[in-house]
Structure 1
Amino acid sequence: MTAVTSSPVGAPTYETLLRCALAGELGPDPAGLRVAVAFTTRQAVRHDGRGTGYRNEVLGLRVGAAVGSCAVEPGALDDGVVEDCAGAGVDRLLRHPRTPVRVAALDAYLMHVAPHTPEHGARPVRVPAGTSLEKSRARARTVVGLLDLPPGATVLVVGVVNSLLEALRARHLAYVACDFKDGVTEWGEGVVTDALAEAHRCDALLVSGMTLGNGTFEPLRRHALEHGKRLVTFAQTGSAVLPRFVGHGVSAVCAEPYPFFWLDGGPSTLHVYRGGAR
């Protein structure tokens, strides 16, 4: 992750948050905590009735009862990285040369320090049991509901999820779909690859937590802060990291820690954060 050197006064950055965690300023000294379990979760999806599919791979690190996550491009992490993380001190992993490891370690540490509970600012939202598509749509309705935009507004969607686009369409919101994978949406719309280049023509930003892992979160957060735009994140990656930016360029977060909705057909829980900074 590239450090941001110019940020509005008083607004934390990802790098400052990481430094505070390393210094023990957010909770216990990370040198005294170890990752008991490191693993990857791999998924291929093709919902009934949908013409396109996709793949996911997520690095998971467990610290106590908490699991921190960071999505990666499929095949980006070899087994040696996962084995290196198991049993390692959290402080070492917060300094790891691989960005996804640092993100997952920070996520696990922060969730260990401040779990997703009302005491820490989270509002639970239940996702009913159902098929993978039904649960995806239920999550999408919760996420899009956090935008608080009038019909006709345009949303930059960073990290294309067709259920989110479908929910935006249902609310008569226009969107610009952005993803490093480019291609087209389920409705044949072109997908752009440079989010920041498109942000100026959008009224709000809907951003995946994956932006933490690929280094694009900070420029988008700065854009929202400087232009007074709503920025809502849907976070499987960094579900405990992104709530720390609510009130500092992030308007709301739909946090979804491991295990994610797509891993089980039973009911699951999302955790919504909005309002002032934590």
Structure 2
Amino acid sequence: MTAAPHALAPCLDTLLGQALAGELGPDPTTRRIAVAFTTSQAVRHDGRSGGYRNEVLSLRLDRAVGSCATEPGALPPGTVEDCAGAEVAGLLQHPVLPVRVAALDAYLMDVAPHTPAHGAQPVTVPAGSSLERSRARAAAVTDLLDVEPGGAVLVVGVVNSLLAELRSRGINGIPCDLKGGTTEWGEPIGTDALAEIGRCDAVLASGMTLGNGTFDPLRRSAQEHGKPLVMFAQTGSAVLPRFLGAGVAAVCAEPYPFFWLDGGPGTIHHYRADDGGTS
């Protein structure tokens, strides 16, 4: 596999600064966001007792779409209107973190799209119902873990299909999410991921950690404890591969449009640090 040269990023703020300075691609003062939109999602699968909601901010830069998930209603009024037509440079400095993340994602997606030339391995999510596609995505994400049956994985950003897939492989999932609550099976969901890292063999975390400011502390803690960190990313799918080999072991990158938007086949992308994805 051939990989494009990517400089390792020590933290998200450094990566934002590198993009703003034009160190990662074209001068961002010369690039403008053509389209800004949000996608609001509510899910309740047949056979499951609970559901959930998400909202995603997406920004279109030429051929690329960058995205960042947020809690529903969290974006200030007028955010979409402010982003449409704005310079990328301005959005990389926006006071709202999800806007900065979505702008960085769009910029990096345009600079280095998900192709084998940039270290990506395509994986097909077959057509099917929402639940079938969720399960297929979960299997693809879990394939990136190097954990034996009987091991434990800290899951940051609870997705019941991921927990179910871990169970099917004999792996204990330790659920953690800022919202707390319980899983589909009535298990309590922790809210302090850093407190749980010491008792797991690996960490599986959502890209939403980029948008809520918890990614860098989680990555640093995983490094300090010697735990491999695997990211599943609709948020920041082009951002997170920049951290391969710098605290991130692998990324399952899923750019817009996401698997839950239609029933047809789609493609997600695997990155592994040991494939030289950031060499």
Contact persistence 2:56–2:69 (CA under 8 A): yes
Q: In percent, how many aligned pairs have the same letter?
A: 72
Contact 2:197–2:225 under 8 Å retained in 1: no
The alignment partner of 1:200 has SS state of helix
Q: How does 1:198-277 map to 2 (within 5 A)?
A: 198-274=196-272, 275=274, 276-277=276-277
Shift of 1:198: 1.1
Q: 1:134 aligns with which of 132, 135, 139?
A: 132
What CA distance in whole angstroms lies between the structure 1 residues aligned with 2:249 and 2:125?
22
Gaps of 5+ in 2: 1-7
Q: How does 1:43-58 map to 2 (within 5 A)?
A: 43-58=41-56
TM-score (norm 1): 0.95
Distance 1:93 1:242, change over 3 A: same
Deviation at 1:200, TM superposition (A): 1.3
Correspondence 1:166-177 to 2 at 5 A? 166-177=164-175
Secondary structure at the aligned position of 1:224 is classed as: helix
Asked if 1 retains the 8 angstrom alpha-carbon contact of 2:9 and 2:242, the reply is no
Q: What amino acid is aligned across from residue 94 of structure 2 in structure 1?
A: H
Between the two structures, name the one with larger relative contact order (CA 8 Å, sep ≥ 6).
Answer: 2
The answer on whether the counterparts of 1:248 and 1:277 sit within 8 Å (CA) in structure 2 is no
Which range moved further: 191-200 or 121-130? Answer: 191-200
**Structure 1, residues 83-106: CA drift from partner, whole Å, max 9, x if none?**
000000000000000000000000
Q: CA deviation at 1:11?
A: 5.8
Residue matched to 1:122: 120
Report the equivalent of 1:7: none
TM-score under structure 2 normalisation?
Answer: 0.95
Distance 2:196 2:271 in 1: 26
2-side partners of 1:175 and 1:224: how far apart?
16
1:42 — aligned with what? 40
CA RMSD, Structure 1 to Structure 2 (Å):
1.0
- Provide the rounded CA distance (Å) in 2 between the counterparts of 1:41 and 1:78: 15
1:84 aligns with 2:82: yes
Output one character per residue of 1:3-29: Cα deviation in whole Å (capped at 9) or x when no partner. Answer: xxxxxxx76211111111001000101
- Structure 2 counterpart of 1:3: none
Q: CA deviation at 1:201?
A: 1.2
Distance between the aligned counterparts of 2:76 and 2:41, measured in 1?
16
Report the 3-state secondary structure (helix = DSSP H, G, I; strand = E; otherwise coil) of the residue aligned with 1:12. coil
Distance 2:182 2:96 in 1: 30
Q: Give CA-to-partner distance per residue, 1:94-151, whole Å, 9 cap, x none.
A: 0000000000000000000000000000000001100000000000001111111111
- Specify the alignment match of 1:102 in structure 2: 100
Runs of 5+ unmatched residues, structure 1: 1-9
